[in-house]
């Protein structure tokens, strides 16, 4: 079938380019302004080459790992991605269930189009990511709702003070709020598999998509003019709000979007259980540094606190390079949403198993029987 031709995560991107209306594909694939950070994320992995060890018994190798007390079948999970249900029918649920079946963590986006309660019911090990304004009376209800829903880990995304300048979205006719432009209508009409299988099916079973997990915008449809205003003043969010969340939240708490060693130190001092070094997949500040480039200095500053990374992870070798440079765990974004769009839950399962196989094969070829055997001694600058 269709999935049999997909040999790597990159293949899912090409398939999704043909399958999705251009504005929606562009929304997922794009970065901001010059797309510099999107390119830098890939280039940062290409800048490292391996020095493998040989004649090591790796027969019992495994990518399984413990992350903040949670058993993970692989050293990677699925990044939070808003509006996944625009690309794939019930997209957020598809990702959540595929992660559960593969035994890997998945972060439910605060901008998901499916209720957080339904997602955590399907996968009790999923994490919840919050987008919050710097307003105490709007933060605590979200935190309390996620706790009551049963999430054990809360992720605060810290790199979205304002909406980014995504020129590609303006050009292609994709906007938040979503406007039914002629371009979008035409592009959908010529992609009947998406139009019928995702969009029409969503409308018939669940109605027009709307935000479910940001209380201030709850029920506001994606097409509403009030949408952006209702997001609130995220440029007022500070460490003081994080401290307040830390006091309130009973479980593990993670800050996502850190790129400076000083901020990693601050997160540890404020009681974070972990951080995700991330430039939001190159989707916020253009020319923000590639996470992999600053990973070693951040690991050095973070002490005992686990350091995770996302941005540009596409291959098992990418996973192994990040772990060799001190990451405890990595997250994968775009390829998983493409996989959901192309193949639904079996598609995401296929993506996870492709990456898992690449990790296992890489460990054998590197002579690393366990993830603890990975280290900077296995890397050199690539020519």
Write out the binding residues for FMN: 80-82, 109, 129, 157, 256, 278, 310-314, 333-334
172 binds ligand FNR (CB under 6 A): no
Residues in binding site? 27, 80-82, 109, 129, 131, 157, 166, 256, 278, 280, 283, 310-314, 333-334
The C-alpha atoms of residue 337 and residue 33 are separated, in whole angstroms, by 22
Q: Can you tell me whether residue 216 is helix, strand or coil?
A: helix
Stretch that binds ligand FNR, among 7-15, 75-83, 189-197, 206-214 (CB under 6 A): 75-83
Residue written as token pair 């990518």: 63
Which 20-49 positions form the footprint of ligand FNR (CB under 6 A)?
Answer: 28, 41
Of 351 and 368, which has the nearer Cβ to ligand FNR?
A: 351
Residue with the CB atom nearest ligand FNR in the bound state? 333
Of 209 and 311, which has the nearer Cβ to ligand FNR?
A: 311
Examine residue 357 and say whether the peptide bond preceding it is cis (omega within 30 degrees of 0). no
Which 177-236 positions form the footprint of ligand FNR (CB under 6 A)?
Answer: none
Of 245 and 368, which has the nearer Cβ to ligand FNR?
A: 245
**So which residues are the catalytic ones?**
280
157 binds ligand FNR (CB under 6 A): yes
- Buried b / exposed e over 333-352, threshold 16 CB at 10 Å, is bbbbbbbbbbbbbebbbbbb
Stretch that binds ligand FNR, among 57-65, 106-114, 171-179, 259-267 (CB under 6 A): 106-114
Stretch that binds ligand FNR, among 109-117, 132-140, 353-361, 365-373 (CB under 6 A): 109-117
Q: How far is CA 240 from CA 134, 216, 266, 313, in A?
A: 9, 21, 11, 32
> What is the CB neighbour count within 10 angstroms for residue 39?
14
Would you give the DSSP letter of residue 162? S
Binder among 37, 44, 65, 79 for ligand FNR (CB under 6 A): 79
* Smallest separation (angstroms) from ligand FNR to the CB of 259: 12
334 binds ligand FNR (CB under 6 A): yes
Of 155 and 368, which has the nearer Cβ to ligand FNR?
A: 155
Which of these, 345, 87, 339, lies nearest to 199 by C-alpha position? 87
109 binds ligand FNR (CB under 6 A): yes
173 binds ligand FNR (CB under 6 A): no
Binder among 310, 318, 358, 373 for ligand FNR (CB under 6 A): 310
Of 29 and 188, which has the nearer Cβ to ligand FNR?
A: 29
User: For every residue of 64-88, which 3-state class applies, written as one string?
Assistant: CEEECCEEECCCEEECCCCCHHHHC
Which of these, 373, 363, 307, lies nearest to 59 by C-alpha position? 363
Of 108 and 349, which has the nearer Cβ to ligand FNR?
A: 108
The C-alpha atoms of residue 88 and residue 269 are separated, in whole angstroms, by 40
The alpha-helical segments, DSSP class H, found in 178-315 are 182-189, 192-194, 201-206, 227-230, 239-248, 261-269, 291-302
Binder among 19, 152, 252, 280 for ligand FNR (CB under 6 A): 280
The C-alpha atoms of residue 78 and residue 2 are separated, in whole angstroms, by 22
Of 114 and 313, which has the nearer Cβ to ligand FNR?
A: 313
Residues in binding site for glyoxylate? 27, 131, 166, 280, 283
Binder among 149, 332, 352, 378 for ligand FNR (CB under 6 A): 332
129 binds ligand FNR (CB under 6 A): yes
Reported residue count of the chain is 383
Q: What ranges make up the beta strands (E) of 145-205?
A: 153-157
Q: Which helix (H) or strand (E) holds 323?
A: helix 316-324
Q: Which helix (H) or strand (E) holds 310?
A: strand 307-310
Q: Which DSSP string do the residues of 70-138 spell out, in sequence order?
A: EEESSSEEE---TTHHHHSTTHHHHHHHHHHHHT--BEE-TT-SS-HHHHHHH-TT-EEEE---S-HHH
Stretch that binds ligand FNR, among 169-177, 209-217, 233-241, 328-336 (CB under 6 A): 328-336
Binder among 281, 316, 343, 347 for ligand FNR (CB under 6 A): 281
- Interface residue list for ligand FNR (CB under 6 A): 28, 41, 79-82, 109-111, 129, 157, 256, 278, 280-281, 283, 310-313, 332-334, 337
């Amino acid at each position: 079938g269709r999935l049999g031709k997909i040999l790597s995560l990159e293949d899912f991107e090409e398939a999704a380019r043909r399958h999705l209306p251009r504005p929606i594909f562009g929304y997922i694939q794009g970065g901001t302004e010059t797309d510099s950070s999107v390119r830098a994320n890939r280039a940062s992995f290409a800048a490292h080459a391996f020095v493998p060890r040989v004649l090591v018994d790796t027969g019992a190798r495994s990518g399984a790992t413990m992350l903040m007390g949670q058993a993970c079948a692989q050293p990677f999970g699925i990044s939070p991605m808003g509006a996944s249900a625009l690309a794939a029918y019930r997209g957020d649920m598809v990702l959540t269930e595929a992660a559960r079946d593969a035994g890997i963590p998945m972060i439910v986006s605060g901008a998901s189009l499916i209720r957080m309660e339904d997602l955590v019911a399907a996968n009790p090990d999923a994490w919840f990511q919050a987008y919050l304004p710097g307003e105490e009376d709007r933060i605590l209800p979200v935190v309390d709702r996620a706790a009551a829903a049963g999430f054990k880990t809360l992720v605060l995304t810290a790199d979205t003070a304002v909406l980014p300048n995504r020129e590609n979205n303006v050009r292609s006719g994709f906007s938040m709020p979503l406007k039914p432009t002629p371009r979008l209508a035409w592009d959908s009409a010529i992609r009947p598999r998406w139009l019928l299988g995702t969009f029409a099916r969503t409308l018939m079973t669940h109605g027009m998509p709307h935000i479910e997990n940001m209380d201030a915008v709850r029920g506001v449809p994606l097409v509403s003019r009030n949408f952006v205003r209702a997001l609130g003043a995220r440029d007022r969010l500070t460490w003081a709000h994080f401290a307040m969340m830390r006091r309130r939240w009973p479980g593990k708490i993670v800050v996502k979007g850190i790129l400076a060693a000083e901020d990693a130190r601050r997160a540890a001092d404020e009681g974070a259980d972990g951080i995700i070094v991330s430039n939001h997949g190159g989707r916020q500040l253009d020319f923000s540094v590639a996470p992999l480039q600053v990973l070693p200095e951040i690991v050095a500053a973070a002490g005992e606190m686990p350091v995770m990374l996302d941005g540009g992870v596409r291959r098992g070798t990418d996973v192994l390079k990040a772990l060799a440079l001190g990451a405890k765990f990595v997250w994968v974004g775009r390829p998983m949403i493409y996989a959901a769009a192309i193949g639904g839950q079996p598609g995401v399962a296929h993506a996870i198993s492709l990456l898992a196989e690449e990790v296992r094969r890489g460990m054998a070829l590197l002579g690393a029987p366990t993830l603890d055997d990975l280290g900077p001694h296995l890397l050199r600058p690539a020519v």
